[in-house]
Amino acid sequence: MKRIKYFDYNATHPPIPGLLTKILEEYEEDFFNPSGPTRFSLARQGKIEEARKVLAKLTGKDPKGFVFVSSGTEADYSLIYFAKQSIKTTAYLSPFEHAAMYSSFRSLGIPYKVLGTDKSGLVSISELESHLKNEPGPVFILHAGNETGVIQPIEELAEVSAKYGMPFYSDLIQSFSKIPVPFSVLNGFTFSGHKIGGGLGSSVLWFDPKHLPEGGVFQGGNQENGHRAGTENSPSILALAEAAKIQFAEMENKNKRLEYYRNKIESKLKSLGAEIVAENSARLFSTTFALLPLDDLDFFMMGMEEKGFAVSTGSSCKSRSREAAPSLLAMGYTNEEALRAIRISTGLYTTEEEVDSLLIALEETILSIR
């Protein structure tokens, strides 16, 4: 984890030290197929059910509604698959969803409308109400932007949805265990193990079990209570649950530290001529999205890597393509402005020493290019 100075936690969280080793060592001894008929398999299945109960306790939701899947993309797709039954005419989405969300709607042939926004990075509650009044439909709004870090007011948005009898769903992949989440207002949500230090291979969706239809995206087996066929990745599931417990316990102290780091980072960036995106909106303490005063980020990224720093130009699903971040275009930034964006994201293991060295590297790199 310390081979480089890591500032890309929004892409993936470093594994919690020792967690995966502990889980895999246990798996080598207790490797049974959870779906098998023996008591050994039943014991393995029991551990998965315990993981479900851990998540239920952390969120206050019914454990029967948790379905373990492979990735955040599959979780989002499955959420839409299960919600399709409630979409009579159209659905409403924010302009900040993960690409998997929009693709899921298109793949399943479900009409949807994208809500507007501005440079605050917030969706309009009044616009949503206007749409729901004229054409009611389920609402899908991610909680925190993976690029901007902007936190949507999902309690108020869910209240408007409920006013018109519509369910409210949220992608929590960037907010789960980072900030308090009003789980009680959600009819469904998703989150991912590798975003919280549990390693790759397991993500989760929760869907109100009273409305959870039979079957799932993958069929042909009765795993996950019949909602996701395929042998469960039990080591990753157990790692996810353990990571969630650790992150929830650390949340308050961690956020005090990360807010302090964010203020230092953004003060330095502004002194160098950068613009902080949605600076005055509620944002994750871990996330800074900034437009640099440079024409081309390629030299900047190479310079930072040479100095041993990992930062990002935005969402992992888009960063290699060097396309303008859709979130910035939706907020009213030009394509040229959007191509100057970098994301710096911190987490549980970020130290002040690393932050201080980042500030020096940012200044040296930006000034050398300008």
Q: DSSP readout, 275-326?
A: EETTTTS-B-TTEEEEE-S-S-SHHHHHHHHHTTEE-BSS-TTTGGGTPPPH
Domains and CATH numbers, the chain: 5-13+250-369 (3.90.1150.10), 19-246 (3.40.640.10)
Rounded distance, CA 5 to CA 341, Å? Answer: 20
Grouping H, G, I as helix, E, B as strand and the rest as coil, residue 236 is helix
pLDDT at 1: 43
For the chain, residues with pLDDT lower than 50 are 1, 318-319
Q: How far is CA 346 from CA 129, 274, 308, 330, in A?
A: 35, 19, 15, 25
pLDDT at 208: 94
pLDDT at 260: 98
For residues 231, 233, 235 and 240, what is the CA-based torsion angle, rounded to 10 degrees? -140
Look up residue 254 and give its two tokens.
């961690």
Strands 275-276 and 287-291, by their bridges, are antiparallel
Please count the other Cβ atoms lying within 10 Å of the Cβ belonging to residue 92: 24
Look up residue 19 and give its two tokens.
């967690």
pLDDT at 218: 81
pLDDT in tens, 96-145: 999 999 999 999 999 999 999 999 999 999 999 999 999 999 999 999 99
The amino acid that residue 83 corresponds to is: A
Residue with tokens 């003060």: 267
| Cα diameter, the chain | 67
Rounded distance, CA 191 to CA 13, Å? Answer: 13
Residue with tokens 């953004």: 266
